[in-house]
Structure 1
Amino acid sequence: MTSLIFDGAALETLYTGTEWGEGPVWIGALDSLRWSDIPNDRILQYDEASGETRVFRAGAEFTNGRTLDLEGRVVQCSHGRRSVERETSVDGSTPPQTLVDRWNGVRFNSPNDVVVASDGTVWFTDPPYGIDPSEREGHAAEPEYEGCFVFRLDPATGVVDPVITDMIHPNGLAFSRDEKTLFVSDTGFYAGSAAARHIRAYDVDVRGATCSNGREFAVVRPGASDGFRVDVEGRIWTSSEDSVQVLSSTGEVLERIPIPEKVSNVCFGGASGRDLYVTASTSLYRIRTTTTQAPRAPRP
């Protein structure tokens, strides 16, 4: 197979200084990459034109995964506030708005990663890492419901419902190009379930309101899949212990991009959309690819 890395491209280190970098999103309107340094409770922003990184927001309440909504606004997960929120200003001069912080009268564990579907609904995972007693990524607390679910929020109505309830620690997630399949990684091995370090696939019904037929899609080694993205050809670009792995639409490993430390997440960006940004333990990396991220499916 022809490499998916642009001919002659090399891995670049764009920034070093995080304790655990996560939640990257490319903001085309700013030509910038925004991501989190969760244990240091801050959001960072890399400017492509200048090559400089600045602190976008300190005291961010341990934000993690983020994406853009249909209007181009940043939607992100907050471990500290145990919520999904939306940035209300590009420059950070106003605080983010809480979209949802509870279900059925109880608080979430700590929303972790998020995607927005073509109909504007917000889908997010809710493992317990932000309420861990260590307080490394949030504030220690007891869970208020049994389990860790994947939820779907309809911002138009405010209705939030669990759509996946059979995983240990649902973590990263992404839709297939046609939004008929939802992929979700399970990092439940942290809770002692050795088998839970895989990506599962679920069928999404035509109304986009429920998931069914959960099955194992791929097992990622070494380490596990945390965050990932789907490209225009339906391939999955996922984090692992020592590399970014590119998986085929049927789960086979097509390519590995070595990274010198543990990888947390990835996203596509840059002027061409072909730059792969990689967040890892201490650093932000970039490498030019021959593909781009899959666009949202046409609105239903």
Structure 2
Amino acid sequence: MTTQSSAAVHDPLGLLAPDAAVERMATGCGWSEGPLWMPEARVLRWSDIHGDRILEVDESGAMRVHRTGVEFTNARVRSRGGVVQCSHGRRAVELERDGAVSVLVDRFGEHRLNSPNDLVEHPDGSIWFTDPPYGIESPKEGHPGEREYGGCFVFRWSEADGIRAMVTDMAKPNGIAFSPDHETLYVTESAGADDTDEVATIRAYRVEGVGVDARAVDGRRLARIDGGTPDGIAIDVAGRVWSSSGDGVHVLSPEGELLAFVPVPETVSNVTFGDAGWLWLTATTSVYRVATTTRPA
């Protein structure tokens, strides 16, 4: 059963559908994350990280458990004939396909990864992912551990090329997405080196080269989010950045201008587009959706 929030939105450009309301579609989680729309089944799949389970909800609000004991999975994308997802517990990027789970990458050289958090697939088939330390440092999000390679990087991985560090100048990279032309990489910064300097920012990097020669260069601050730390992000067909935050969803232009704001009654952890312009949100204990007038990139 869904419930609605009538809190006012800021939407001067009409990016939300007329009379759009934030609908709560499911609840009962410890920390909701990693939303992915599954069009064939017409369900949203997401993680209850604190509950160590993967859940699904359909468009009527009917919720079901997909799997339990999942080693604290986080973000996911459809790829390689299944779902590629981040595993805090395994400190890995893994593939779930046909009921089986296999590790794709869990090391950078001789060192274990921290706890892959969010990921995106490039048209060349490579997976780009962030590797902050939450799964090894935060209770209920993984297992205690050490930062073995000494930092928190953004990586590119493919079967052919292996793993390469693409961004090394961020303290805790978190959400990740490409612009529609894949020439810009957006990464959210969940904390600076002293946990204060770069809090609540989104950074943009220019992508040069292709394949194994790709590089992310010239990082710049795109925007600072005043309503709380940005986490997961989604990009629409016009290149606008739809960012989660502590107070709702902030919609930014490719230049970082605030275009719209959608208040949500819980801290929003991540966002993704579904069918027919729906934006789905994971937020603390719940999953929400709101109708938009745009579509994903």
Q: TM-score, normalised by structure 2?
A: 0.92
Paired with 1:221 and 1:22, the residues of 2 have a C-alpha distance of 21
Pairing 1:87-236 to 2, within 5 Å after superposition: 87-89=96-98, 94-132=99-137, 134-155=138-159, 157=160, 159-189=162-192, 192-208=195-211, 209-236=214-241
Q: How far does the alpha carbon of each residue in 1:264-287 deviate from its partner, in whole angstroms, 9 at most, with x for none? A: 0000103x2x00101000110011
* Unmatched tracts of structure 2, length 5 or more: 1-11
- Greater alpha carbon shift after TM alignment, 103-112 vs 181-190: 181-190
Whole-Å separation in 1 of the counterparts to 2:222 and 2:32: 26
For residues 13-44 of structure 1, the C-alpha deviation after alignment (integer angstroms, 9 at most, x for no partner) is 10110111000011112111100010110111
Alignment of 1:1-300 (within 5 A): 1-48=12-59, 50-69=60-79, 71=80, 73-89=82-98, 94-132=99-137, 134-155=138-159, 157=160, 159-189=162-192, 192-208=195-211, 209-270=214-275, 272=276, 274-294=277-297
Residue aligned with 1:215, SS: strand
Q: Report how far residue 158 of structure 1 moved.
A: 5.2
Deviation track 1:239-278 (CA, whole Å, cap 9, x = no partner) reads: 01111011011101111001001110000103x2x00101
Q: What stretches of structure 1 of length at least 5 have no aligned partner?
A: 295-300
Q: Number of aligned pairs?
A: 284
For residues 66 and 219 of structure 1, the distance between their equivalents in structure 2, rounded to whole angstroms, comes to: 25
Please say if residues 189 and 197 of structure 1, whose CA atoms lie closer than 8 Å, have aligned partners that are also in contact.
no
Aligned to 1:298: none
User: Residues of 2 paired with 1:79 and 1:199: CA distance?
Assistant: 22
Answer whether contact 1:149 1:167 (CA < 8 A) is retained. Answer: yes
Query: 1:264 is paired with a residue of what secondary structure?
Result: strand
Q: Distance in 2 between matches of 1:77 and 1:216?
A: 26
| CA offset digits 1:205-242 (Å, max 9, x no partner) | 13152111111111111211100100000000000111
1:168–1:196 Cα contact (<8 Å) kept = no
Confirm or deny: 8 A CA contact 2:52 2:73 kept in the other structure: yes
The residue type equivalent to 1:78 in the other structure is S
| Offset at residue 189 of structure 1 (A) | 4.6
Matched with 2:5 is none
Whole-angstrom CA distance in 2 between matches of 1:135 and 1:242: 23
CA RMSD of aligned residues (A): 1.4
Match of 1:297 in 2: none
Deviation at 1:72, TM superposition (A): 5.5
Q: Which amino acid aligns with 2:296?
A: Q
- Three-state SS of the structure 2 residue aligned to 1:96 is strand
- The residue type paired with residue 282 of structure 1 is T
% identity of equivalent residues: 50
